[in-house]
Amino acid sequence: MKYVEEYRDPQLARQLLDEIHAATTKPWSLMEVCGGQTNTIVRQGIDDVLPVGLRMVHGPGCPVCVTPLEMVDKACAIAVQPGVTFTSYGDMLRVPGSHSDLLSLKARGADVRVVYSPMEAVRIAQREPDRQVVFFAVGFETTAPANAMSVIRARDLGLSNFSILVSHVLVPPAMTSILDDEDCGIDGFLAAGHVCAVMGWREYEPIAARYRVPIVVTGFEPLDLLEGILMAVRQLESGRCEVENQYIRAVRRNGNEHAQEAVASVFQVADRTWRGVGEIPRSGLELAAAFAEFDAARRFAVEGIETRENPACIAGAILRGTRLPTDCPMYGRACTPRMPLGAPMVSSEGTCAAFYNAGRVAEPATAQQTVGSQA
């Protein structure tokens, strides 16, 4: 397949791996803040073949996993209201809420539908004017432009039966929150290629300078990740702390300015709770006042929901990169992708699901795997 196979060439992978081994003289910890990268690293076993002491720490990069429990509960509360058609990407349907999940509500008769874009939800609202159509707008900067465009389209069509339940999160504040933690052991980051395709990398430059960490914008294929790791290691070994771009085929420094304008016209920055991590100031997006009428949380008045996390789930520690899924007593036993107890076991981008699907078993941690004890 053109533009995919080239980035999976085994000979080039071996060459890059040899260069990583040659370049690494000290122990380093690199965090990827992207579920797609986590999936590739774990599925391809990249973390298993790195030099001893060069650790990949899997950060809060899965959009499904970081959507706060309160939002999942609000989605469930809206979905069961009469006359509501609740639409969402498929992964969100199986995320456990405090009392239920969207898929279970659908099985019990709620009108919950999987869509492949927010525009599909707008078209449902056009076709079915007697239904109140709600789209679950979750994710990082990557999905925000399409969600913004859906609201603009609904306004232009004069639709009064379309709204979105917003739970957008922003990557840079999460990175600074991780770096501000006094127990943080992260030496460098692989920044998410798709987020940077939208946002560019200018906003990472002050982070690299202030915290003195290299940040390498990196793609998702095995060769992308190996090259991103090599670039980060070379910076660390030479004492540089810069933003570099490995993903040159998709990312420019300024990003996609049209997409940024769409987001800025519809959303405003707000404090946001990250599931398992807690509230991070100015780390999310909410609808701007001019578009408040499209806010499903206001339209359906679902405030004051009491949430209840499963006490057995250690997803918070996994999302902060201080524990591994195999440290969780539920992993592969009471919690599997078929029967997830926590959000990281739901999506293929979740660290627990990535570990499970790669066949990783809960064994005594090796030096490579012992994240929590060193972080």
Nearest to 31 by CA among 50, 55, 7: 55
Of 68-76, 115-123, 200-208, 306-314, which segment contacts ligand SF4 by CB under 6 A?
A: 306-314
Cα separation, 178 vs 314, whole angstroms: 17
Q: Judged by CB under 6 A, does residue 97 bind ligand SF4? A: no
Work out which of 140, 274, 291, 331 binds ligand SF4, going by CB under 6 A: 331
Q: Judged by CB under 6 A, does residue 91 bind ligand SF4? A: no
Task: Give the number of other Cβ atoms within 10 Å of residue 158's Cβ.
Answer: 6
Length of the chain: 375
Q: Judged by CB under 6 A, does residue 42 bind ligand SF4? A: no
CB of 253: closest distance to ligand SF4 in angstroms?
A: 36
Nearer to ligand SF4 (CB atom), residue 64 or residue 285: 64
Work out which of 148, 230, 313, 375 binds ligand SF4, going by CB under 6 A: 313
Of 115-123, 128-136, 170-178, 313-321, which segment contacts ligand SF4 by CB under 6 A?
A: 313-321
CB of 320: closest distance to ligand SF4 in angstroms?
A: 12
Q: Judged by CB under 6 A, does residue 207 bind ligand SF4? A: no
CA geometry: angle 203, 205, 208, nearest 5 deg: 125
CB of 16: closest distance to ligand SF4 in angstroms?
A: 30
Buried/exposed 267-296: b ≥16 CB within 10 Å, e otherwise: bebbebbbbbbeebeebbbbbbeebeebbb
Q: Judged by CB under 6 A, does residue 200 bind ligand SF4? A: no
Work out which of 54, 197, 341, 375 binds ligand SF4, going by CB under 6 A: 341
Alpha carbon 10 to chain centroid, angstroms: 28
CB of 355: closest distance to ligand SF4 in angstroms?
A: 8
Cα separation, 289 vs 226, whole angstroms: 44
Element (H, E) at 218: strand 215-218
Residue 337 CB burial class (10 angstroms; 0-12, 13-18, ≥19): middle
Nearer to ligand SF4 (CB atom), residue 66 or residue 313: 313
Cα separation, 112 vs 136, whole angstroms: 11
Q: Judged by CB under 6 A, does residue 342 bind ligand SF4? A: yes
Q: Judged by CB under 6 A, does residue 371 bind ligand SF4? A: no
CB of 336: closest distance to ligand SF4 in angstroms?
A: 8
Token pair for 312: 């057995």
Binding footprint of ligand SF4 on the chain (CB under 6 A)? 312-315, 318, 325, 328, 330-331, 335, 340-342, 344-345, 352
